[in-house]
Amino acid sequence: MRKNTSQEQTVLIEQLQQIAQGLGETFAPFCEVVVHDLRDASHSIVSIHNNLSGRQVGDATTELGLARVADAHYQQVIANYANRFPDGRQAKSTSIGIKDSSGQYVAALCMNIDVTLFGALQSMLAQFGRVDDATGVRETLEPVGADVIRQRIDQYAARLGITPRAFKTEERRALMRELRQSGCLDVRRSAETVAAHLGISRATVYNDEK
C-alpha cells in the first residue's frame, strides 16, 4: 500500500511539472511558475520556469508549503495575494496545493507575477495616451451631425424594441424615410454614419433610400 501511495504521489508531481512547463511557456516572461514536492519541505523545489525570484531547484518551500504540510485542511487555492521578490519587487502570487487520494498535501504549484513590469507598461501607456487640454483647441474628426443621426436611429430602434443592427429591410427603408424627412441625410457623409451604425454597407444605405 505504501508503495502504491508513493507511486501515485510521484505520478502527481510528474504531471504537475508538465502543467508548470506549459504555464511557464504561455506566460513567459512575466510569470514565474514553481513546483514544490512537499514530501521534502527542506528541498521542495523540483522545477522552476521563468525564474524571477532567483531560487533554485532543491531550495526549501515557503511558509505556505510548511502550513500545508502541517495541516491537510489548509486552504487549497490561494489566488492573487500580494507578495514580494527577494530584491524588493512587488509580485502577485497564486498558490495551489495538490493532494493525493488520502487527502494529504504532496505538492504545490505556485505562480508569481512581477507586477512592476506591468506598472512600467501602464505608465508608458498613460504617457502615450495623454492629451493636453490646456491648449484650448476643440476639434472633432467625424462629420458634423453624426451624433444626431445616431440618436435618431437609436430612437427609432427603441420604438421597435430591437437593436439598430437587427433591422429588416422594410424597417431600414422606413428609417431612411424618417432620416430624409428630418434632413439628416443632407449632412455630409451621412451615408457612412448610417452604414457604420447599422452594420451594413453604404451601397445598402443608398439602395434603401430609393
pLDDT at 144: 58
pLDDT at 122: 83
pLDDT at 43: 97
Dihedral (CA of 38, 41, 44, 50) sign:
positive
pLDDT tens-digit profile, the chain (210 residues):
344 688 999 999 999 999 999 999 999 998 999 999 999 999 999 999 999 999 999 999 999 999 999 999 999 999 999 999 998 899 999 999 999 999 999 999 999 999 988 887 888 888 888 887 777 776 666 665 888 899 999 999 999 989 999 999 999 999 999 999 988 888 888 999 999 999 999 999 999 887
pLDDT at 123: 84
pLDDT at 56: 96
- Are 34 and 20 a contacting pair, CB within 8 Å? yes
**What CA–CA distance (Å, rounded) separates 59 from 103?**
25
